[in-house]
Amino acid sequence: MNTFKSVAELRRRVSEWRSQGQRVGFVPTMGNLHAGHFALVELARQHSDKVVASIFVNPTQFGPNEDYARYPRTPDSDIAGLAAKGCDALLLPSVEEMYPFGTIGCVQMHVPGITDILDGAHRPGHFNGVAQVVARLFNMVQPDASVFGRKDYQQLQVIRYMATEMSFPIEIVPAPTLREPDGLAMSSRNQYLQGDERQTATFIYQTLCFMREQRGHGFPIDAIEAEAEQRLTMAGFSVDYAEIRRSDLMRAKSPEEPGLLALIAARLGRTRLIDNLEFDSA
């Protein structure tokens, strides 16, 4: 695997591949890679001949009181893991390369509507930062396909919208959520969990399953959401939301609608966890 700090050099390599008729898949990450990320690389491989990953902890998607400074950075093990997974190239851009005019004076991106609800309501500006960096990464790498995890369901929807709206000729490939044996969705932030919090964290997935089950019994959506929030609070979480939405993340009118999913964001101590469960998937 070749590691590129310079975008120009990576682009040369990618255009060589493409001129040979090879399809290029892309996996953007913020590093601190775990099995969930490596599954994204494997999926990218299924959709392309060459796989490029990037590691960039993007400052513009973190709020002023969020974990940008303490976000785990583990470049050596990340590089070894990507190489072992057969990734072909890694882009490691600096903040200066990503934002040559700084993060204040740079071109901004605002994806209306979908960035203001759910996580967007609790992390103002977060998804605009995500859309901004992903658009830049798409321009830098120029892939044919790019893989995003369903665990960050709202992020996936924002990126789909942005890519369509900006006419990026890139197939957006969603990847299933990988879970620990006890159901906890894999996330770099799980390592913030202290002591008993790790065990308590499994309650998020249990609550998502409870919401799916209640929906199966035809209970009203408001009642399911209120019960889920109460259960999480009793278990020690501070709940940002526990909601049932349509696949486009708009509010569902009835529990009978097809394509519904439950989404939860909740804090346990200093750790904010998110997860979701699509009711009609396996």
Q: Side chain identity at 164, as an amino acid letter?
A: T
Q: Side chain identity at 100, as an amino acid letter?
A: P
Q: How far is the C-alpha of 1 from the C-alpha of 88, rounded, in Å?
A: 5
Q: Which of 34, 37, 122, 126 is catalytic?
A: 37
Question: Least CB distance from residue 106 to ligand PAF, whole Å?
Answer: 15
Q: How far is the C-alpha of 37 from the C-alpha of 32, rounded, in Å?
A: 9
Q: Is 47 a catalytic residue?
A: no
What DSSP line would sit under 164-197, residue for residue?
A: HHTT---EEEEEPPPB-TTSPBP-GGGGG--TTH
Closest of 147, 138, 130, 124 to residue 166, by C-alpha: 138
29 binds ligand PAF (CB under 6 A): yes
Q: Point out which span in 22-30, 42-50, 102-110, 172-180 binds ligand PAF (CB under 6 A).
A: 22-30
Question: Least CB distance from residue 29 to ligand PAF, whole Å?
Answer: 5
Q: φ, ψ for residue 62 (rounded to 5)? A: -105, 135
Instruction: Copy the structure tokens of residue 59.
Output: 């400052």
Given the complex with ligand PAF, which of 39 and 224 has the nearer CB atom? 39
Given the complex with ligand PAF, which of 28 and 143 has the nearer CB atom? 28
Q: How far is the C-alpha of 184 from the C-alpha of 177, rounded, in Å?
A: 10
Instruction: Copy the structure tokens of residue 231.
Output: 């259960």
Q: Point out which span in 12-20, 92-100, 126-134, 225-233 binds ligand PAF (CB under 6 A).
A: 126-134
Among 48, 58, 154, 207, contact with ligand PAF (rule: CB under 6 A): 58
H-helix or E-strand spanning residue 7: helix 7-19
Among 25, 28, 120, 143, contact with ligand PAF (rule: CB under 6 A): 28
Given the complex with ligand PAF, which of 152 and 278 has the nearer CB atom? 152
211 binds ligand PAF (CB under 6 A): no
Among 134, 193, 261, 264, contact with ligand PAF (rule: CB under 6 A): 134
Closest of 76, 98, 77 to residue 28, by C-alpha: 98
Compute how many residues bind ligand PAF; rule: CB under 6 A: 10
Given the complex with ligand PAF, which of 155 and 207 has the nearer CB atom? 155
119 binds ligand PAF (CB under 6 A): no
CB proximity list for 148: less than 8 A, separation 6 or greater: 28, 40, 155, 156, 159, 172, 173, 174, 175
Instruction: Copy the structure tokens of residue 132.
Output: 């901004």
255 binds ligand PAF (CB under 6 A): no
Among 24, 30, 239, 261, contact with ligand PAF (rule: CB under 6 A): 30
Interacting residues toward ligand PAF by CB under 6 A: 28-30, 58, 61, 130, 133-134, 152, 155
- List active site positions: 37
